Structure 1
Amino acid sequence: MKNILFRLYLNLMRSGAKLTRIKENKVVILNGAGRSGSNGYLFAKYLRQHHPEYDVALVEPWPSSHLPLKTWRQIGAAKYIFTTHQPFKIHRKQISIQFWHGIPLKRMGIMANNTDYKTDARNARLWRRNADMVCSSSDFYETLMSACTGIETSKYRQVGFPRLDALTRPAVTKKELLQQLFGQDDVQAQIGIFMPTFRYEMADEEIMNRIKDGNFLALPDFDVEKLNASLKAKNQFLIVKLHPYEMRLFKKQHSHFSNISFLNNDFLYEQDFDLYELLGSTDFLITDFSSIYFDYLNLNKPIIFITAYLEQYEKTRGLLFGPFKEVVPGKCVNTQTQLLEAVAAPDHYQAKRQYWRNLTNEVQSASYCEQVFTLMTKKY
């Protein structure tokens, strides 16, 4: 019922916004990606800094049923509309450019195990009707996206993604990151970041209870004191960035340990940063099935994969390719003991990371934002 009412709301507001006259220099970015590698947010920053001749409106969160009429009029006046999730436009003459928010690793849309076909088919029709151009990074990316959403090949433009500009040229230095999150300034230390996927959708009560009780790794032998001691002995620090939903469930959102710090969205909003503007200053990534690892390949730094609940995830939602443990460019671990060993082990995955980086990002550019801007203005 909620979905039906929300679609009615969107149709009503779209009808009202159609009365607004389009402005040639008006750009609206509908950002549903928050501050976690948001192409929309970062491209808005770029436009405001480098192209003040364009009137840029960043609409977030999107979609929302609480947007004022003024905002809807801005959407209706936009010549260019960028989206991070489903494509959206009001007038036929508007140009809708789709960023999306990551390279697909997990099954979604018509490929997912846990979605409704009628909904997926309706979404596929929205892509065909509303997306004029879809930003892409490679043939591989296009294959994955089209498998899930049915996008026609003619819509893709291989211009890369704005988030990679922030990743490879971080706005926050390693020293600043150590000072702000750990109160330290030893730049010889290593900083790791743990970023899991949305684990709640597995509907596994045991895993969610572990997270609620403070076991953010959701591993059977989790021991936070031992983890902190091991990090301290190796002169390493660990940033924990959970999905916002998990952070709300998490009972211990503030770490009392010297070498572990939780990063939440409030910090990013207060500092006016996207996660990718500091991610490039980290030294290694720990994840499970989050597609962030594809982007992290552009740093050529170690990646460790937690696969303790791989079987549950494949059954509930599914992955787009595999076998997962054989194809990922990093060590797979199922326990904290294995994780600590992997963090201390020599890195032997450089060649495999390079292979996957070339496969997922065929577009090499000094400025992906500039390439998207050229796409927007030349309309090719």
Structure 2
Amino acid sequence: MKNFLFRCYLRWMKFLCVFTGMVDSKVVILNGAGRSGSNGYVFYKWMLLNHPEMKTVLVEPWPSSHLSWATWQEIASARWIITTHQPFKVKKHQINIQLWHGVPLKRMGTMANNTKRRDNQRNEKLWHTTADCVASSSDWYETLMSSCMGIESRKYRKIGFPRLDALKHPIISRDELLKDLFKAENVDPKAKIGIYMPTFRYEMESADIMEQIKAGNFFAFADFDGAALNQALKEQNTYLIVKLHPWEMRLFDNLASHYSNIAFLNNDYLNEHDYDLYELLGDTDFLMTDFSSIYFDYLLLDRPIIFIDNYLDQYEKTRGLLMGPYAEITPGIKAGSQAEVLAAINQPDSAHWQAERKRWRQLTQQVEGDYCQNLFDYMMRP
């Protein structure tokens, strides 16, 4: 019912904005990706710095039923509407550029196990009628996206994703990151910084998993022991950043970690400093994730990735993965327990995994150059 009412709201606002004139130099970015690897937010910052002659407006959160009339007029008067989730524009002659918010590893749309046919058909029609350009990184990406959303091949443009520019240029130093998140100073330069970023686990529909996370077991491991984990990390000269999905972070009563070598990275920190998560990832030495597509982007850094697979069977049953077997499509050590995680962190990066990361990087990243510049050049083409 809420989705139906919101669609009615969007139609009504479009009707009210129909007579608003368009400005060729105006770009509106509808950012639904927050600060967790948002193509829209990274491109917005780049536009402000590099093209002040353009009027670039950031609208967030999106979608929202609480936007002001002035904001709707900004949206309606823009020539360019850039989206990170579903395509959107107010008028036919506006140009929608769809950046999406991740390379799909998890099933979605038509391919997902937990979606409805009517919703999938509505979404496919929306992509067909509204998206003018879909940013792409490779043939492989286009195949996955089209299998889920029914996107026509003519809509893709291999311009890459703006968020990847942020990977190459960390906005602060490693020392500053350690000081901000861990209150640590004069840290051994050889110390490692890892980040754990799981996918949205609520959709596994398991009360047990949510209870474990709420209790502080952010891995949802059967052998989880926070104090022991922290001590082992300390002995391994390693700091671990935990970046959970925003919904999961709300389960914690206190986001401030009482551990010396484990810190929670939440959206408040990113928003207060005007950072995107990807502007910090370049400072890390390894990534831990489960079924999140972030690992495809992290391949550009060519650093170790540890894959947490303790709920693999349950996730494949509930939503599913677009490819498999999981062990063959994930170029890194697999860990299903705290003991295995600590062993993986302590293991040197092997030539085997380096070769696997290179193979997957070549498959998924066929676009080079500055990605924000690629997008701008596409927009300004004759």
Regarding TM over 0.5, the answer is yes
Distance in 2, Cα, partners of 1:138 & 1:102: 13
Aligned to 1:118: 118
Q: Which stretches of structure 1, 4 residues or longer, exceed 3 Å deviation after superposition?
A: none
Write out aligned runs for 1:90-239 (5 A). Answer: 90-185=90-185, 186=187, 187-239=189-241
Deviation at 1:339, TM superposition (A): 0.7
Contact 1:214 1:252 in 2 (8 A): no
Aligned to 1:259: 261
Write out aligned runs for 1:23-62 (5 A). Answer: 23-62=23-62
Match status 1:72 vs 2:72: yes
Distance in 1, Cα, partners of 2:108 & 2:17: 31
CA-to-partner distance for each residue in 1:317-341, whole Å, 9 max, x for gaps?
0000010012210011111001100
Q: Pick from 242, 259, 262: which aligns with 1:240? A: 242
What secondary structure is seen at the aligned counterpart in 1 of 2:250? helix
Aligned to 1:336: 338
Aligned to 1:325: 327
User: Relative to structure 2, which stretch is displaced further, 246-255 or 275-284?
Assistant: 246-255
What secondary structure is seen at the aligned counterpart in 2 of 1:378? coil
CA-to-partner distance for each residue in 1:215-267, whole Å, 9 max, x for gaps?
00111100111110111011110000000100111244221010000010000
Match status 1:353 vs 2:360: no
Give the TM-score of the pair, scaled to structure 2.
0.98
What secondary structure is seen at the aligned counterpart in 1 of 2:380? helix
AA aligned to 1:143 is T
Distance in 1, Cα, partners of 2:252 & 2:311: 19
Aligned to 1:369: 372
Deviation at 1:188, TM superposition (A): 2.3
Contact 1:83 1:97 in 2 (8 A): yes
AA aligned to 2:42 is L
AA aligned to 1:101 is H
Structure 2: runs of 5+ lacking an equivalent: none
Distance in 2, Cα, partners of 1:327 & 1:106: 12
AA aligned to 1:281 is D
Write out aligned runs for 1:284-299 (5 A). Answer: 284-299=286-301
Aligned to 1:12: 12
Distance in 1, Cα, partners of 2:78 & 2:318: 40
What secondary structure is seen at the aligned counterpart in 1 of 2:32? coil
Deviation at 1:211, TM superposition (A): 0.5
Distance in 2, Cα, partners of 1:285 & 1:255: 19
What secondary structure is seen at the aligned counterpart in 2 of 1:28? strand
Deviation at 1:283, TM superposition (A): 0.5
Distance in 1, Cα, partners of 2:197 & 2:173: 19
Distance in 2, Cα, partners of 1:82 & 1:326: 35
Q: How many residues align?
A: 378
Deviation at 1:207, TM superposition (A): 1.2
| Percent identity over paired residues | 59
What secondary structure is seen at the aligned counterpart in 1 of 2:71? helix
Q: CA RMSD in A?
A: 0.8
Deviation at 1:344, TM superposition (A): 0.3
Q: Pick from 306, 311, 316: which aligns with 2:313? A: 311
Aligned to 2:276: 274
What secondary structure is seen at the aligned counterpart in 2 of 1:87? coil
